[in-house]
Amino acid sequence: MSGRFRMVVAAVAMFAAGGSAGAQSPFPSKPVHIFVPYAAGGGVDILARTLGDVVSRQWGQTVVVENRPGAGGVVASQALAASPPDGYTLIVVASGHATNPFLYPKIPYDTFNDFTPISLLASSPNILLVRADSPFKTLGDLIAQARATPGSLSFGHAGNGTSTHLAGELLKNLANIDLNAIPYKGGAPAINDLLGGQIPMSFNNGPESVGQLEAGTVRALAVTTAARAPFLPNIPSMAETVTGYDTEVWWGLLGPAGMSPDLVAKLSHDFVAALNTDSVKERLSKLGASPIGSSPQQFDAKIRADYKKWGPIIEAAGMKAE
């Protein structure tokens, strides 16, 4: 009897395990949606779609990229914060995610408590551009002119509070010069006015700048990261002229708050693996971006560090969202 009893117990246990496994299918068992807080065709959109294609093949499930532009990423982030923490709704944010609380006084979510960091995916320097025929050959030339005639020079940027705006404000702050910040509705219009001679310089991200640099219509005076960019090895970094200067635009993956640690670990692992594929590395290189693939903890630390770094600068400059 005891032997038969053990067999019955084992059978019940197997049945229970099978029922449990059937009740919770392995992730993902249906399409995964990734919000992009900006219009199609930009750096965030390209990164999300490139990674989405790779993880879709890994998972054998569709990855749907949804463009939800508006309010510098606030619209899409609010939608994510209200989503179930089941991994089926994610977002690729840019570095503005950390600074939006200073730009929007009534932001409808908590930047830290309403999201789950998954991975810091990639980064790119911003680039200080002048026209190819500009009299400024170096960053030193530009700074000397700004000091000789305070307030006479303007720089274009992609909009109030964007990473390109912050790059210009950091230059003003660290080099102790007076420059006029001219906001545009994106980086492309700023480049158009730069080429047209309406502004003498513009800060733009890598994806926006690469084509113009290859065409020879603009000259890069410096990249904004502390070290030179691998895709522009002959262009100085800002820090070579302005001590302590270091900024970039980054992109990272978030989920809603309350995700299970196991699910976060899986998502982080799978997206980091996608970043390390040759096709993704090649695509990012052409955009002037570098893959990172951090842990969730490292991404959380990055968001918090940028929040602390940029808050005082934004408030000192009186920046508000457009």
CB 34 within 8 A of CB 63: yes
Residue 149, helix vs strand vs coil: coil
Do residues 293 and 306 both lie within one domain?
yes
Supply the pLDDT for residue 316.
85
Would you say residue 111 lies in a domain? yes
Q: 172 and 227: one domain?
A: yes
CATH number for 193:
3.40.190.10
Determine the Cα–Cα distance for residues 128 and 237; give it in Å rounded to an integer.
10
User: Domain for residue 26, yes or no?
Assistant: no
All residue ranges of the chain with pLDDT < 50 are: 1-23
> For the CA atoms of the chain, what is the radius of gyration?
23
Sheet holding 218-223, edge to edge: 179-183, 153-157, 201-205, 126-131, 218-223
Q: What is the DSSP string of 87-141?
A: SSEEEEEEGGGGTHHHH-TT-SS-TTTTEEEEEEEEEE-EEEEEETT-S--SHHH
Per-residue pLDDT, 322: 65
What is the distance between the alpha carbons of residues 75 and 115, in angstroms, rounded to a whole number? 14
**What CATH number does the domain containing 296 carry?**
3.40.190.150
Are residues 224 and 261 both part of a single domain? no
Contact (Cβ atoms closer than 8 angstroms) between residue 89 and residue 83: yes
User: Which pLDDT score is estimated for 61?
Assistant: 97
Same domain, 236 and 161: yes
pLDDT score for 6: 42
Whether residues 194 and 271 share a domain: the answer is: no
Query: Distance between CA 286 and CA 46 in Å, rounded?
Result: 11
pLDDT in tens, 263-313: 999 999 999 999 999 999 999 988 888 999 999 999 999 999 999 999 998
Would you give the end-to-end CA distance of the chain in angstroms? 79
Strands 126-131 and 218-223: antiparallel
Partners of 91 in the β-ladder: 35, 254
- Give the span between the Cα atoms of 234 and 263, in whole angstroms: 42
The closest of 253, 258, 252 to 81, measured between CA atoms, is: 258
Same domain, 219 and 192: yes
Looking up tokens 């117990």, which residue turns up?
A: 9
CA angle centred on 301, ends 296 and 305, rounded to 5°: 150
pLDDT of residue 149: 96
pLDDT (0 to 100) of residue 132? 97
Under DSSP, is residue 202 helix (H, G, I), strand (E, B) or coil?
Answer: strand
Residues 133 and 229 in one domain: yes
Q: Distance between CA atoms of 186 and 157, rounded to whole angstroms?
A: 7
Q: Is 6 among the domain residues?
A: no
**Smallest Cα–Cα separation from 253: which of 87, 16, 6, 42?**
87
Beta strands in the chain (DSSP E): 32-36, 63-67, 89-94, 115-124, 126-131, 153-157, 179-183, 201-205, 218-223, 249-256, 290-291
Beta strand 290-291 pairing with 115-124: antiparallel
- The whole-number pLDDT of residue 9 equals 41
Out of 240, 261, 289, a domain closes at 240
What are φ and ψ of residue 171, in 5° steps? -65, -45
Cα–Cα distance between 30 and 51 in angstroms, integer? Answer: 17
